[in-house]
Amino acid sequence: MIIIFMTAIMSCSRPQKTKSDETALAGEYTATLTDAPHVPISGRYNAPEKVIVKLEVIEKVMRLADGVDYNFWTFGGKSPGKFIRIRQGDLVEFYLSNNPNNKMPHNIDLHAVTGPGGGAEASMTAPGHTSQFSFRALHPGLYVYHCATAPVGMHIGNGMYGLILVEPKEGLSPVDKEFYIMQSDIYTKGEFGQPGLQPFDMQKALKEQPDYVVFNGSVGALLGDNAMHVKVGEKVRLFVGNAGPNLVSSFHIIGGIFDSVREGSVVNHDVQSVLIPAGGAVTIELKFEVPGTYNLVDHSIFRAFNKGALAQIIVTGDENKDIYSHKQRDIIYQPEGGAVQSITDANSGLQVPPKRTKEERTQLGETLFTTNCSACHMKDGQGVPGAFPPLAKSDFLMARSDKGIGILLHGLQNPVTVKGKTFNGVMPQLGLTDDVIANILTYVRNSWGNQSDMITSEDVAKLRAKDKK
Ligand code: HEC
Ligand SMILES: [Cu+2]
C-alpha cells in the first residue's frame, strides 16, 4: 500500500526527471570512421553518449576492375562507405556533407534509425551543403546504410552504401581480428571486363542482370595483395553486409565453417552458407585451424568465378595434419573390364581434323577461350592473383617445349611459377578435341603480348598419341 502510494507521488511530482534520466548523456565525442575492410575499435563506454558522425559524399571515378573505371558515388570517398561504430542508447548527431564538386543531391537512410525514412528526408542535401539531424540508437545490431535519393537503385548501384554497428549495451565479446565486407551488384553498359570508363546501365539494373557482383566495391578488392590476413587459431569476426541493389547473397567461405552467425538477436551455429538479403547484414565469427588461402564467395557460384564475387583470407601458422592432411597419395584408378572413358575419346568422332590458317585458328580460339578458359584465367589473360596464373606474357607457357599442349590435354596440378609468382592450384582436364586445343593455344600464344607460330591439330595429335603409350 505504501509502495503504491510512494510511486504515485514520485510519478506525479517528477515525471520530467525520470525521462531525462533515461536520456542523460555521459559525454560527447566524434566517431572515428574507417574504410573497408577495416573496422573502428570499440569505443570507451559507461553510459549513452552523444556521438558526432560526419560523413562526406564524394562522386569520383575509381577502378572497378583491371582496365575498367566507373564513376562511383561514395560515402567518404570509397565504396563501401565508412564503417560507423556506436553503442545502443547513444544519441547520434549526424552531419551529411555533399561535396561542392558533386553533381547530384544525396541523402542517407540508416537502417539503425527509428524514424521516418531512416533519416532520408532529414538529410537530403544539395552539392555544397551540409545537413544535420540526430537519432537515438534504440536497437543493437549491424545495420546497412545507403543513399535513398531517387532513383534510389541507381544511387545504391553507384556505390552509396555502408554499415553501421550499434553495439549492445554490454559490448561484443573480444576477438583477435575484425573485418568489414560488403557485397554489391553493378550494372555497366559494357560486359564484364570491357575496358574503359563504363557508365551505369539502367536497363540491365531493371532486369536484375548485373555484369559485376563484387565484395568491397571492385573486382579483386580483397584478393592477392589486398587479401585479409589472419593467423591459425585466431578468433575472427566478419561484419558482412549486402547492398544489393538487387541480388541476395549466399555468402560462403570455401573450407571454413562459421562458428556463429548473428542476424538480429538470432544466433545460429555451425553454418556453411548464410543468406544475406539486399539491405541486410550478418555478423560471422569463426576460427581457421589450418593455414592456407581461403576463398570467400557468393555461392551463387557464377557470380564468384565470372562476375567478381571473390575475396580471400590468407591464414598463416602451423599445419595440423590431424585436422587436414592435404593430398597424401595419388593412386592410378583403372576400373577392370569395361572400356575406360577418357578424354582421348573426344576425338573419336572426328576422323580428319580440318586444315586451318593461323588467322582462322586465332579467331576461333578467341571464342573457345571465352567459354573454356576465361572463367579462371580471365578474359584478358591476367588470371587472378593467388588463384589462377596469368597467360598473358606467361614465361612458363611460352618456354614449354610442348607449347602448352600437355597442359590442355591432361590438366595441371603441380606447383608452377609464372612471372615470379608461385601457384599451387588444380587446372582440370577439360576433354577438348585436337582442333579445339590447337585453336585455343594459337589464340593464347598470340594474344596479350604473347607471340609464336600457330599450333596445328597434328601437333596436338602427335602428343596425344605419344602420351597414350
Ligand atoms: C577451373 C579453372 C581453370 C580453367 C577452366 C582453366 N585453367 Fe588453366 N590453370 C588453372 C590453374 C589453377 C592453373 C595452375 C595449376 C597449378 O598450380 O598447377 C592453371 C595453369 C595453366 C597454365 C600454365 C600456367 C601459365 O600461366 O602459363 C596454362 C598455360 C593454362 N592454365 C591454360 C589454360 C587454358 C588455355 C585453358 C582453357 C582451355 C585453361 N587453362 C582453363 C585453372 C584453370
Ligand atoms: Cu545519392
The whole-number average pLDDT for the span 79-84 is: 98
Query: Does some domain include residue 15?
Result: no
- Same domain as 121, residue 162: yes
pLDDT of 429: 82
Q: Is the pLDDT higher at 286 or at 4?
A: 286
- Same domain as 295, residue 434: no
Contact present, 84 and 111 (Cβ < 8 Å)? no
Residues in contact with 24: Cβ distance below 8 Å, sequence separation at least 6, in sequence order = 47, 48
The pTM of this model reads: 0.66
Q: Say yes or no to pLDDT of 326 above 50.
A: yes
Q: Say yes or no to pLDDT of 450 above 60.
A: yes
Q: Say yes or no to pLDDT of 343 above 70.
A: no
Tell whether ligand 1 has an atom less than 6 A from the beta carbon of residue 371.
no
Distance CA 53, CA 42 (A): 15
Distance CA 216, CA 63 (A): 12
Last residue of a domain, one of 290, 321, 352: 321
Q: For 233-263, write each residue's pLDDT tens digit.
A: 999 999 999 999 999 999 999 999 999 999 9
Q: Say yes or no to pLDDT of 5 above 80.
A: no
Residue of 46, 74, 50 lying closest to 60 (CA atoms): 74
Q: Give CA 426 to chain center in angstroms.
A: 22
Burial of 202 (0-12, 13-18, 19+ CB in 10 A): middle
- Same domain as 355, residue 316: no
Q: Say yes or no to pLDDT of 75 above 80.
A: yes
Distance CA 437, CA 443 (A): 10
pLDDT of 352: 63
Query: Does some domain include residue 210?
Result: yes
Pocket test for ligand 1, best of 305, 377, 421, 440 (most atoms within 8 A of CB): 377
* Domain boundaries, position 351: 343-468
C-alpha neighbours within 13 Å on the C-beta side of residue 106: 35
Mean pLDDT over all residues of the chain?
90
Which domain CATH number covers 456?
1.10.760.10
Q: Say yes or no to pLDDT of 13 above 60.
A: no
Quick one: which atom of ligand 1 is closest to the CA of 425? 17
Q: Say yes or no to pLDDT of 142 above 90.
A: yes
Residue of 403, 406, 409, 419 lying closest to 451 (CA atoms): 403
In one-letter notation, the amino acid at residue 415 is: P
The cell numbers describing 334, all together, are 583403372
Contact present, 114 and 108 (Cβ < 8 Å)? no
Q: How many domains does the chain have?
A: 2
Residue 2: which H helix or E strand, with range? helix 2-13
Span from the CA of 304 to the centroid of ligand 1 (angstroms): 17
Query: Does some domain include residue 10?
Result: no
Which domain CATH number covers 229?
2.60.40.420
The whole-number average pLDDT for the span 215-232 is: 96
Q: For 344-385, write each residue's pLDDT tens digit.
A: 444 444 456 678 899 999 999 998 898 888 888 999 999 988
> How would residue 7 be classed by pLDDT, with cut points 50, 70 and 90?
very low
